[in-house]
Every structure is written in C-alpha cells, then in structure tokens.
Amino acid sequence: MDHPPNTARSNGAGPDRSRTGRAARALTRTALTAVLGSVAMKVVRGLDDRAVINDPRGRELVPLTPTVRQTVTAPGGPDINVAIYGPDGAPTVVLAHGWTCAIDFWTPQIRALSAGLRVVAYDQRGHGRSGRPGPGGYTMDALADDLLAVLDACVPAGERVVLVGHSMGGFATLAFAGRHPAELRRRIAGVVLASTAATDTVADTRVLPGGPAALRGARTAVARAVLGSTAPTGPASPISRRVVRFATLGPAASPAQVAFCERIALACPPVVRGGFAAAIAQLDLGAQVAQLDVPTIVVTGTDDRLLPPGHSRRLAAGLPALVELVELPDVGHMTPVEAPTVVTGLIQRLVDLYLAGAPAAPDHRPDGPKVATQSLRSPGTMAAGDAGRATVAPPLAES
C-alpha cells in the first residue's frame, strides 16, 4: 500500500521549525542571563555603595577647597593646575601624585597638614585639571620640568620645602634630581618617596599572575599592553571596583578607600593613561638615585602589586642620604590613602627635622597598619624617639 508523501519533511519545514525553536530558546536563555546578570550587578553595586556610606574612613577622604588655585607652565609644556592650602608663611610641603591620579589623591595629607603647614599640590600634566601634553610630552624629563615650574611659581624665593612623590610623582622627583641637581639642593630640604621605583617597573609588576621564569618576557609584554591600553574604562561598576582593589590596594583597604581610588583612576583620560604607561614601561632612572642627595624617607606597602617592595628596597640601598625605609604590612600601592596617618607622620617628621621654624608636630603615630621599619644607617643616626621603630637592616634582597 502506497503512503502519501510526508509534506512536512519533503519541503524542509520540519528542520527549519526545529532550528527556529532552538534559536528562540537560546535567545531566551541569553536574555534571561542578561536580566539576571543586570539584577545581580545592581544588587552588588547597592551593597558596595552601602559599605562605602557606612565606612568611617570616608570622612578623611572628603576634599578640601584650596586657599589658592594657580596655573603654571614649564617652557613648551601644558598648563599645570596647582592648589595651595594652609597659612601663608608656614613651612611648605609639595605633593606630586602618581599615574592616573590627581590632586584629590592627597586629600588625607592635605586635611591633616594644612592646619599648620602650607601645602602645595599639583595635577601632573594630562591629569586632573592640567592640560594634556603634546607629541613627545610624555616623559620623565617633562615631569621634572613641570615640578621646577611649580617650585618657581609657588614657593617663596629662598625657601626650601619637603617634597613628597607617590609612584609617578617619585619618578618625577628622581628625574628632577638628575636634571636639576643645583635646584634640588637649593630648594628641597627633604623627600618622601612613596610606592615608587627607578627601573624595571613592568617586568616586576605582580598585577598579572606569576609563572615560570621562561615566560617572564611574554608576561612582561602582556603587562605592558594591559597597562598601556588607551581603551575607555567606562563608568564605575562592581567589576571596575574589584579590578582597582586587586591591582592597587592591599587587603586592609576599606570600602571608602577603594571607591575613592576607583573614582580618581577612572577619571584619567585613556590617552594620558596610555601615554605615560608607555614611558613608565621604559623607565630608567637608576643613575638618578645617587643624585637624590637630600634626606629621604622611602615608604612602601608589602602588598603592592604594581611596584612591589623590592623596588623600594633597591632605592633605599642606593640613596646617599636615606633617613629610613618603612614597609607597611597589608598595604598596597596607594600608601597615602591606605595608611594616611603613617604617611602624614613621615612627612611631618621631615618638616620637623629639616625645615626651620616648623610648628610643633601633632601626634601622627600610626593608628592603622603596624609600621615595620628597616634603616640602612645605624640606630645612633636616627632622630630621638625613633629607636624603638628602627632596626639595622641586613643586606637587602629583592622581592
């Protein structure tokens, strides 16, 4: 007996209907996943925001309005935005921030120091309110010249200052020592180098997972590409907050400190971020370390992934006028934000020791992370009261 042909199969409608059904189910799953993901992100963001609101450390991260705003320009450079806080006539501290940061990064130090000191903070070229560099303007020499312009314009003639450089601000300080040695000795009474380096910045970074020594070159190339990317970062999100925390802060950082650093870092223009990353990847200031021959304190976090503590140990070993090396347990790259009382105390200490007429120092003893100090000088050369915090370090090993 003959059967009528199966029309559905003969015209292909069956397979088409099956494919259409599978596509619809896949689209439904994708849409559902997107909705659930969006809801989850909103929930996490809400929890993050609540943690920030409830964090008491947030109070010390509210920026102050400067007493004076000023614009200065190095020859051939962009306009540099400067903010000045505190009383005229008081000893001066100059603050140079790091890569992707801005003046607000120094908020804890500005709040603590400006009651009795004159604090001069400036946006590095391309950062904050400062103008962007032109071609060839992303160099350490350019940063050194910007620093000189700030000193010329904002520090009274004949006055010396304490200079504080964090990360790229430390690079600018070393470059300044090599490029303007006479000005260094004439203008700078003491230096704090926070979370910085002189060489091998990308090769030693721990932002990417480690691996066999044979893969070091490939890992360095990937790190250079990631850090030097000019891709837009997008708005703040739970993901960006966790990336910032992992890359730049230690395990003891509070929610408000993480959100504060995220806000500042995401505000940096991508082209500026990438331009300076390329320069930092080629950083070679090893010869300038010996030229920084003014009293210097070096401070680092033991959990710094961007510039691990080995950098600071090598710096300390090469500095001719080291005061001390301070290592902060459980602190990452953002030492002035993560350990504000400690860093402020170190700045104040140099003011008290080396700037004539400095006011009596308030009590800036650490109330946060314990300070682990290694001194490369004998305890007898330390200031009174520091013996309990200072030990003579053995030969320094790289980390």
Two tokens, residue 273: 């971020």
Q: What is the pLDDT of residue 45?
A: 65
Domain ranges for the chain = 14-53, 56-381
Cα–Cα distance for residue pair 392/380, rounded to 1 Å:
10
Handedness of CA 266, 269, 272, 277 (dihedral sign): positive
Two tokens, residue 387: 């013996």
- pTM of the entire predicted model: 0.80
Eight-state DSSP code of residue 127: S
From the list 257, 236, 281, the residue with the least C-alpha distance to 333 is 257
The DSSP element (H or E) to which 21 belongs, if any, is helix 13-53
The CA-atom distances, in angstroms, between 143 and each of 99, 165, 175, 365 are: 11, 12, 8, 32
Query: Where do we find the tokens 């009651």?
Result: 115
Please provide residue 298's backbone torsions phi and psi, each rounded to the nearest 5 degrees: -110, 130
Are 140 and 175 spatial neighbours (Cβ–Cβ below 8 Å)?
A: yes
Question: What is the assigned CATH class of domain 56-381?
Answer: alpha beta
Pairing of strands 322-328, 296-301: parallel
Local confidence pLDDT in tens for the 399 residues of the chain: 555 555 444 454 566 667 776 766 666 666 666 565 556 556 566 767 788 888 999 999 999 999 999 999 999 999 999 999 999 999 999 999 999 999 999 999 999 999 999 999 999 999 999 999 999 999 999 999 999 999 999 999 999 999 999 999 999 999 999 999 999 999 999 999 999 999 998 888 877 665 544 445 555 565 556 555 666 566 778 888 989 999 999 999 999 999 999 999 999 999 999 999 999 999 999 999 999 999 999 999 999 999 999 999 999 999 999 999 999 999 999 999 999 999 999 999 999 999 966 554 444 434 444 455 544 333 223 333 332 233 223 333 333
In SS3 terms, 62-109 reads as CCCCCCEEEEEECCCCCEEEEEEECCCCCCEEEEECCCCCCHHHHHHH
β-sheet bridge partners, residue 392: 375
Per-residue burial over 159-173, b if 16 or more Cβ lie within 10 Å, else e, is ebbbbbbbbbbbbbb
Q: Taking the CB of residue 236, how many other CB atoms lie within 10 A of it?
A: 17
Q: What is the pLDDT of residue 204?
A: 80
Handedness of CA 244, 248, 253, 256 (dihedral sign): negative
Two tokens, residue 195: 């979370």
Q: Which long-range contacts (CB under 8 A, 24 or more apart) does 258-261 make?
A: 259/48, 259/52, 260/58, 260/61, 260/107, 260/337, 261/105, 261/334, 261/337
Q: What is the pLDDT of residue 380?
A: 29
Q: What is the pLDDT of residue 236?
A: 76
Q: What is the pLDDT of residue 393?
A: 32
Please provide residue 4's backbone torsions phi and psi, each rounded to the nearest 5 degrees: -65, 145
Single-letter residue type at 217: G
